[in-house]
Structures are given as structure tokens and as C-alpha cells.
Amino acid sequence: MSYKIPMGPYHPALEEPYKLDLICEGETVRDAKLHIGFNFRGIEHLAETRNYIQVIALMERVCGICSNIHTLTLCQSMEQLTGLTPPPRALYIRVVVAELERLHSHVLWAGIAAKLMGFKTMFMTCFELREKVMDVLQAISGNRVNYSMNRIGGVNRDIDDPLAVLAMVQALEREMVRTVIPIFTTSSTARSRCAGIGILTREKALSCGVVGPTARASGLPQDLRRDAPYAAYSEMEFNVPVQPDGDVRARLLVRALEIMESCKILRQALTKMPPGEINTGDAKIVFAAGTATSRVEAPRGEVMYSVSWKQDAKNPSRVHVRTPTFANMPSVRWMVLGARLADTPLIQASIDPCYSCTDR
């Protein structure tokens, strides 16, 4: 006999507004149905009522964890419409802030995953490291959440002392190597709760169109920073971690290894940062009529913005956002098939869902 158990839209293990209806036989999940759209903030519509300065501030508030990525992708789209090219130093600063934000997102996710495993000590360790990342972001931007770094044609703030930032990054990297990565990769708790659970095969990952660490954990070697470089990523040397198993442990390992690659990128960007201006100045910005798109590798995967502008208009006629969580969510149904009911909170958390980005 089968029965339905709803998980969400309000659930102790899922503190965001979405719902999984789990069809179970005993303690085994036989099917699942996904429901989204419990919130609607109307941000894309609001963008049509804002000028190019206001729309940057608005889209930075799509998400609190990956706010910089949203403004970066938006500004790259608007730079195509204005014909402006940021100076080289601005491109390096964009890389620095983007990788710090990736560190913040991955360390935050690791803490939440540890909590769902019942690994409370690791949860506290990860959140202590998260504070150090936020301290670095605050040192650069003056803010711990929304950094207000990006503008059309460059960035708003310089990094006056890259070596001081580099010292903080190296201290964080040492702590990751000493504590977080060894525990997550070798502890019996992490292995027993994650190995062989929530498997998404390579073929199913392709058919679902998943992106980011979720795709790379299923053996798909895709990363826009390498495959379609933007900002100064073409000048950086780094690896794209890939795991073939497709289970929760693989998604955990991919993010852990990406933390190390982000530290490698940060070392290069901070030591090779060229001198010069950080933006194109305050000259009048003129938009060409048309539509421009931009893609960026966010911590969760590909973010794409499409921005449309009409001739002589003050506001965009359309701003459309495609977020990685929206692409990754359907795969949860296939991950939970055959899983134990008790493992489903950790399985759905393994895609690092962000419903703030999705329910815009």
C-alpha cells in the first residue's frame, strides 16, 4: 500500500517555500511530485519600471547569497547594449568578488548539509569559516551581504591592498585543507549518510539539463568560467572538479574541491591584478535598441540574463532571469526514487536549492 507524504512548503528540514509530494511504500520513496511558485515577488516586472542604475540595485536583491553574480550578469548584458568594455583591473576585481561569493555559498551549503546529516560539530565549523569569508567581502566592499560592486563599465570600488586580502584568503585555505575537506572526505558519518544515496546518472543529468556542481557530480565536465570565459577568467589557470558517481557524496566532493580551486583563482587574481582605472567613468550611457544576453557560472551553476531595451527608453522593456535552481529542481524527482524517506531532506538539499532566485 502506498501513501503520500508532503515535504514542504514549510518543513523543519527545508526552510524555503517549495513542496515535494513523496509517494512511499513503507519507508521507500516510489515517486515524487514537485511544486513551486508559493511566493511571487514580481522583481522582473519591477525591473521594467527602473532606470539602469536602479535596476542594478533591484536585481542584486534577487538573492542574498549570490547577489554579486546577479549584478555581474546583468551588467554584462547592459554593457553589450551600450558598447562599453570594463578596464582590465575591473575585470580582475569582478573575478575576486565572484570567487569569494562562491566560497561563501559552498561553505554555507556544507554547513547546512552537515546539519541535515546530524553532524552538528561540522555545522558550527563551517559557519565559523563562513564568517571569515564574509569578513573578507566586508573588507573589500563595506558590506557582508549585498556588495554593490558592479556597475555598467566596471566596478564601484577598488581593492586598495590586494596582498592583505590574499593573506585572509590563504588563512581560509589552510583551514579548509586542515579541517573541512578531510572531515567531509574521510569521516564515517559523511560516508554513511551520503555514499550511494540520491544517485543522478550521467544520462539522466543530461536529459534533465542540470547545471553547476549537480552536473559535474554526475560526470558532466561543464563550467562557463572555462568553456565560455568572461571577466578575467581566460587568464586564470584552474581545474574543473568532476565526479562520476552522481550521489550526494559526489556533490559534496565537487563543492569541496571547487573551494580549493576558488582559492587558487583568488591567489592568481590578487597577485596579477593590473593597475589602472576600475570603470569607464561617469559619461552619459546610451543604450542601443535590442536584446542582449549574458551567462555566468554562479555557485549553483549557469545564470542567464536577457535584457531588452527600446530606442530612447529610460528603462528596460524586459529583464528575464534563468537561475540554476530552476534548471536543477526537476532532477530531485529522479534522485529520490528508491531512496529511504529519512534521506530525502539531505537529497533535495544536495542540489543547494535557492528558491529566492526561483520565485522571483
Exposed / middle / buried, residue 3 (Cβ in 10 Å: 0-12, 13-18, 19+): exposed
Q: What is the domain count for the chain?
A: 1
Task: State how beta strands 290-298 and 154-155 pair.
Answer: unpaired
Cβ-proximal residues to 284 (8 Å cutoff; 6+ apart), any chain: none
**Each residue of 313-355: pLDDT tens digit?**
899 999 999 999 888 988 988 998 888 888 888 888 888 888 7
Query: Longest Cα pair distance anywhere in the chain, in angstroms?
Result: 70
Query: Residue holding cell 569578513?
Result: 135
Any idea what the CATH number is for the domain that residue 185 is in? 1.10.645.10
Average pLDDT for the chain = 88
Q: What's residue 302's pLDDT? A: 94
Element (H, E) at 211: none
Q: Where do the DSSP E strands lie in the chain?
A: 2-7, 19-25, 28-35, 150-151, 154-155, 290-298, 301-309, 318-322
Q: What's residue 112's pLDDT? A: 83
**Each residue of 281-316: pLDDT tens digit?**
888 889 999 999 999 999 999 999 999 999 888 999
Q: What's residue 299's pLDDT? A: 92
Model pTM?
0.92
Confidence of residue 14 (pLDDT cuts 50, 70, 90): low
Q: Determine the structural domain holding residue 16 and report its residue range.
A: 2-358
